[in-house]
Amino acid sequence: MAGDSEEERDGFNHMTLRIPGLLYVSVKMENPNLTLSGDLLPHVSGSFPLGPSWDPSKALSMERESATVWELSFVVPPNHEALEFKFLLKPKCIDNPCFVEEGSSRVLVGGAWQDGDRMALFRLDNDQVLEYRVFVEAKRISPFDLAASWRAYQENFRLSSVRGIPDVSINSEHQTGSENISSANLELDLEHYIVPSPSTSPSSALAYAANSTENPRSLGGGSASISSSMGDDGVPMINQPETVGEVHAPDQSKVYQSPGMVKSQSVGTICPPEKEGSLRGVSIDRGVGFPRLVKSSSSDTFTTNFNLDPGTKNSIPAAAGAVAAAAIADQMLGPKEHRHLAIVMVSLPARGKTYTAAKLTRYLRWLGHNTKHFNVGKYRRLKHGSSQSADFFRADNPEGVVARNEVAKMAFEDMISWMQEGGQVGIFDATNSSKQRRNMLMKLAEGRCKIIFLETICNDVEIIERNIRFKIQQSPDYAEVPDFEAGLRDFKERVAYYEKVYETVEEGSYIKMIDMASGHGGQIQVNNISGYLPGRIVFFLVNTHLTPRPILLTRHGESRFNVRGRIGGDSALSEAGELYKKKLAKFVEKRLKSERAACIWTSTLQRTILTAGPIVGFPKIQWRALDEINAGVCDGMTYEEIKKNMPAEYESRCKDKLRYRYPRGESYLDVIQRLEPVIIELERQRAPVVVISHQAVLRALYAYFTDRPLQEIPDIEVPLHTIIEINLGVTGVEEKRYKLMD
Ligand SMILES: Nc1ncnc2c1ncn2[C@@H]1O[C@H](COP(=O)(O)OP(=O)(O)O)[C@@H](O)[C@H]1O
Ligand SMILES: O=P(O)(O)OC[C@H]1O[C@@](CO)(OP(=O)(O)O)[C@@H](O)[C@@H]1O
């Protein structure tokens, strides 16, 4: 250290005596009057080791240390005699001239400052004078210190200096670089930027989730078949076969200890996380999303051992994503009936059964579990028509009871048949509100599948009233009833008949969601729940809620690698990307202006962090889990180069882009697996979130919200400079797209 020869002033060390040995030098400039300096950036130009020449174009830029102080540090070798340097101000626009400080050059000899001026004076074009205070600090460092700090620099400093902001940050004013906003101005009305969403996206949250559930096999439905929608004549329309389902487990070693693993033999209560009042100061463990794992067996080894060929039907789940060794072990080693799981919904009408069943189905499918939703109401409508009045649902109407039990049995048997063909999780959606009905189901399930009851209880009369009104609007039961009030009366009568005979679940394995829609947290009770998958289901349900909020998904602004067609890497933004980041900031400002809280999530790659740069007023969080698919040895190559130099790899990826894993990199399935905590966190958040990430990652996130089959994920279109707004609402998911630039 130089402590023995320094003179302290203004908090900086001004050297007067030479320090022998290797030196660490820090020079700083301070300009308290920021408004004068405009967009002039301080630089240093000098002799070795500051630069090979005095050429201003090779001057080193200083880093902004605080709002008014700029800093540059460097190492001077031990045998170096004199170091000469000068400060420069360079305009951001490279075409404009730069300004060199007045007076002779500054000289440092062995770290001692040869009495240079303590002010740097710049005379600008218009004879305006800018003054900066100058500080120099020199410390002797040992080669060991240097080696250690070099390592630290390699590991940390370079990253944070490139990125310029810490993992969790918030900027309350526009950063340098976000000026010159005029070209980034947006129309007053954001609707101006709306472009059509792809036809496969969820058309409207008002579409009733039961419509897209399974059809009776007796009607030619089966495991993959007829449509969710009804034709004008009431006859189901034939649609595409369902493609979701069987895929390889990506890597059985890739299991991380998840909070989803719950074992409970007796009744326990879990309270969901508190509602977030404000997101400011939020801190997130960046490790989340990076499973602690050992890369070992490939999916090939796994599938050979356990005969999990995606093309063959078998009784073992063909799983992906977070479904890994634990899930498979449960399936392989547990009792035979445990290889298939039936989630049997229980509740009075209008308590969110179909909504919850549809959401859980979407989540499990996205993780790679072969899951289907069987809605008994749909079976009833197809068998008995959709114009049954409340009387049909009276417990003392024997014909109604027989008819309802018959369709319930039919749907349950269909579900079991599908499981025997390889299906893994069946979600059985009916009121199942009496012990007698549940006993019937348990008998049907004996030795064939494990049952977990999922009961939704709601004590909030206002929510029940709102739900009932939704049902009249959405349910095909009332599609033919022109008078809304008459429909309302009939449905309330139906609910009252159910209430008379309703028995809460007290038997078997169950999960009870109590008042989870109230917005005050509610609670979840679990009884006799164990195993990987039930644990995941409980964890998912604890974190979901009904608070409406938008999630804005966007890729980073165009990167320099994008321009050159190179994949991966960590390049900065192109000119178009720079413009997009400014437009995006304006968009976010307008779109979220009425929100009390919101959060900006980026990956740890600089193209997303730079894109988030000009957004002000909201906390920004970097997630490693949001980093782009790791292209391994192909990182930085163009697709053409991969095709030419690694034709076999290129070919394999074309054949199966979902499962293909780049050598030393990742597959899409790997990406989905690491995104699972991101999905849980997105479900848990109550405020809007802006996710600035990458093509492959956003494909996977988008597929979750829009219930797209895994196989389609690698080809989903996620264009640059476009914002995909996902609105999570009380009735489901709706999508809007804004295109800010061509
Ligand atoms: N856990 C819940 N408790 C109460 N209401 C809920 C819950 N989950 C969802 N909802 C709301 O209930 C409304 C009606 O739900 P739906 O699933 O059609 O009811 P059900 O199938 O029980 O008749 C949904 O639009 C949703 O807003
Ligand atoms: O899976 P494919 O279709 O190759 O798309 C993923 C690729 O998208 C890219 C662009 O080509 O994303 P990004 O824009 O985030 O850089 C590559 O980095 C990444 O490898």
| pLDDT reading at 244 higher than 70 | no
Asked if residue 507 belongs to a domain, the reply is: yes
Q: Look up 742 and say whether it is catalytic.
A: no
d(CA 677, CA 109): 55
587-600: per-residue pLDDT in tens? 999 999 888 889 99
Please tell me the predicted confidence (pLDDT) of residue 305. 28
567 CB near ligand 2 (under 6 Å): yes
pLDDT band at 332 (very low <50, low <70, confident <90, very high): low
Ligand 1 geometric centre to CA of 346 (Å): 12
Stronger pLDDT, 14 or 685, i.e. the higher one: 685
Same domain, 488 and 468: yes
Please tell me the predicted confidence (pLDDT) of residue 333. 52
**CA quadruple 247, 249, 250, 255: dihedral, nearest 10:** 150
| CATH (domain of 131) | 2.60.40.10
d(CA 200, CA 707): 9
Instruction: Report which residue type is found at 452.
Output: I
Asked if residue 362 belongs to a domain, the reply is: yes
Percent of the chain residues topping a pLDDT of 90: 50
Nearest ligand to the C-alpha atom of residue 670: 2
Can you tell me the mean pLDDT for 50-73?
A: 77
Atom 15 in ligand 1: residue holding the nearest Cα = 352
586-640: per-residue pLDDT in tens? 999 999 988 888 999 999 999 999 999 999 988 899 999 999 999 999 999 999 9
Residues lining ligand 1, judged by CB closer than 6 Å?
347, 349-356, 456, 458, 463, 467, 470-471, 513, 516-517, 546, 730-731
Same domain, 424 and 509: yes
Q: Look up 384 and say whether it is catalytic.
A: no
| pLDDT reading at 285 higher than 60 | no
Asked if residue 207 belongs to a domain, the reply is: no
Same domain, 126 and 99: yes
Same domain, 631 and 686: yes
Please tell me the predicted confidence (pLDDT) of residue 216. 86
pTM beyond 0.90: the answer is no
Q: Provide CB contacts within 8 A for 157, sequence distance 6+.
A: none
Same domain, 503 and 613: no
Can you tell me the mean pLDDT for 555-568?
A: 97
Ligand 1 geometric centre to CA of 355 (Å): 5
Asked if residue 353 belongs to a domain, the reply is: yes
Closest Cα to residue 550, out of 588, 607, 585? Answer: 588
**Of 299-308, 459-468, 615-624, where does mean pLDDT reach its minimum?**
299-308
Give the ligand 1 atom nearest the CA of 456: 1
251-269: per-residue pLDDT in tens? 333 333 344 344 454 566 6
Asked if residue 9 belongs to a domain, the reply is: no
Look over the chain and give the mean of its residue pLDDT values, rounded to a whole number.
78
Ligand 1 geometric centre to CA of 492 (Å): 15
Write the ipTM: 0.89
**Residue 141 belongs to what domain range?**
22-155
pLDDT band at 202 (very low <50, low <70, confident <90, very high): low
Instruction: Report which residue type is found at 71.
Output: E
Please tell me the predicted confidence (pLDDT) of residue 20. 55
Number of domains in the chain: 3
Nearest ligand to the C-alpha atom of residue 639: 2
Task: For a ligand 2 pocket test, name from 602, 649, 668, 694 the mutation site with the most ligand atoms within 8 angstroms of its C-beta.
Answer: 694
Ligand 1 geometric centre to CA of 39 (Å): 55
| pLDDT reading at 716 higher than 50 | yes
**CA quadruple 294, 298, 302, 305: dihedral, nearest 10:** -110
| pLDDT reading at 174 higher than 80 | no
Can you tell me the mean pLDDT for 112-125?
A: 80
568 CB near ligand 2 (under 6 Å): yes
| CATH (domain of 618) | 3.40.50.1240
Written as six digits, the tokens of 22 are 């290797």
Stronger pLDDT, 663 or 286, i.e. the higher one: 663
Active-site choice (30, 137, 628, 635): 628
| pLDDT reading at 50 higher than 90 | no
d(CA 242, CA 228): 11
| Residue 37 C-beta-side C-alpha neighbours within 13 Å | 22
Please tell me the predicted confidence (pLDDT) of residue 322. 39
Element (H, E) at 341: strand 341-346
Asked if residue 126 belongs to a domain, the reply is: yes
Same domain, 605 and 465: no
Same domain, 539 and 396: yes
d(CA 262, CA 260): 6
Domain end residue (candidates: 543, 571, 599): 543
Secondary structure (DSSP) of 228-293: EEE-TTSPEEE-PPP-------S-TT-----TT---BSS-EEEPPPPPPS--TT----TTTTS---
Q: Look up 458 and say whether it is catalytic.
A: yes
| pLDDT reading at 570 higher than 80 | yes
| CATH (domain of 500) | 3.40.50.300
Domain end residue (candidates: 543, 560, 593): 543
Nearest ligand to the C-alpha atom of residue 429: 1
Same domain, 491 and 348: yes
Please tell me the predicted confidence (pLDDT) of residue 277. 37
Say how far residue 713 (Cα) sits from the centre of its chain. 15
Please tell me the predicted confidence (pLDDT) of residue 127. 82
Instruction: Report which residue type is found at 117.
Output: D
Can you tell me the mean pLDDT for 278-297?
A: 27
Same domain, 429 and 463: yes
Same domain, 95 and 128: yes
**Of 181-195, 271-285, 536-550, 577-591, where does mean pLDDT reach its minimum?**
271-285
d(CA 420, CA 106): 83
Domain end residue (candidates: 498, 521, 543): 543
| Residue whose structure tokens are 């340098």 | 176
Please tell me the predicted confidence (pLDDT) of residue 534. 94
Same domain, 484 and 410: yes
Same domain, 713 and 599: yes
Asked if residue 607 belongs to a domain, the reply is: yes
User: 446: alpha, beta or left, given left = phi > 0 and alpha = psi -120 to 50?
Assistant: beta
Asked if residue 77 belongs to a domain, the reply is: yes
Task: For a ligand 1 pocket test, name from 206, 343, 351 the mutation site with the most ligand atoms within 8 angstroms of its C-beta.
Answer: 351
Q: Look up 654 and say whether it is catalytic.
A: no
Stronger pLDDT, 221 or 680, i.e. the higher one: 680
389-417: per-residue pLDDT in tens? 999 999 999 999 999 999 999 999 999 99
Please tell me the predicted confidence (pLDDT) of residue 192. 84
Please tell me the predicted confidence (pLDDT) of residue 350. 96
Please tell me the predicted confidence (pLDDT) of residue 334. 53
